[in-house]
Homo-oligomer: A and B are copies of this chain.
Amino acid sequence: MKALPESDRTKLKRSPKRACFDRERLYEIFDEAHVVHVGFSTNEQPYVIPMLGWRVDNQLYIHGSNGSRMIKALRDGTGCCVTATLLDGMVLSKSAFHHSANYRSAVVFGSFRAVNDPEEIESSLYRFLEHIAPGRWDEVRPPSEQELKATTILAIELEEASVKIRTGPAQEADGDEVLPVWTGEMRIRQQVREMVADENANVSEAPDYSGAWKERREVEKE
């Protein structure tokens, strides 16, 4: 896959060795995160709003109610920054200062476009549900025309984008290696824990969608 282009906005000035312009890693992070944080300004006031985000090819989608202030601002082409972050673990060092975090984060700059094509609307909603609960689309009532009209779907191209990744052990200060302190990584994971049925879940067996929320894969050491 073609590497992501480097721009003034995506170039890392600090810790450039954590930078990555690999499109597959970018996709992986947005796919695994499910939640993205959308940043934009109105009247010079920055806002950061959590949204469910899902990727189809080189586009990241979000959706919301037509009346939402954020959706209105974004559909007008307001410049924004969308970030997804996976905390993989805490890096425990022998000194207070050298503690760190292992993480993967993805950032895309640009602006959203409103998705108006009925085919793209339906296919992106299908992919949204598949991303959360594979196979469920065929089991549930499909959206009515009225429901589709109440929803705005927005897409942003994953082009001016970058990835930051930290893996591996702590970087100890010279001489600290011999201190009698345990060091290593405390791994953090997000996963599906249980399926809690509603009162009107008139089907006794809960489906298994955990594949879409699989435990984060092991990230290779540096």
Count this chain's copies in the assembly.
Answer: 2
Chain B residues within an 8 Å CB radius of A129: 96, 99
Q: Are B151 and A97 in contact (CB under 8 A)?
A: yes
A19 part of interface (Cβ distance < 8 Å): no
Known: A182-B207, A188-B190. A14 touches B69 (CB 8 A): yes
Contacts of A136-153 to chain B: CB distance below 8 A: 136-137, 139-144, 147, 151
A83, A125, A199 interface centre (most CB from chain B within 10 Å): A83
Encode A109-122 as 1/0 by CB contact (under 8 A) with B: 10000000000000
Determine the residue in chain B with the shortest Cβ distance to A148: B97
A69 to B206, CA, bound (A): 48
A68 to B14, CA, bound (A): 6
Chain B residues within an 8 Å CB radius of A203: 180-182
A63 to B84, CA, bound (A): 20
Contacts of A88-131 to chain B: CB distance below 8 A: 89-90, 92-97, 99, 101, 103, 105, 107, 109, 125, 129
Interface footprint category on A: 35 or more
Chain B residues within an 8 Å CB radius of A95: 140-143, 147
Q: Are A37 and B37 in contact (CB under 8 A)?
A: yes
Interface-forming stretch among A20-28, A43-51, A54-62? A43-51
Determine the residue in chain B with the shortest Cβ distance to A203: B182
Q: Are A48 and B37 in contact (CB under 8 A)?
A: yes
Q: In the complex, which of the residues B45, B93, B137 contacts A96, with contact meaning CB atoms closer than 8 Å?
A: B137
* A interface with B by C-beta (< 8 Å): 9, 13-14, 34-35, 37-41, 44-50, 52, 65, 67-69, 79-83, 85, 87, 89-90, 92-97, 99, 101, 103, 105, 107, 109, 125, 129, 132-133, 136-137, 139-144, 147, 151, 169-170, 172-173, 176-203, 205-207, 209, 213, 215
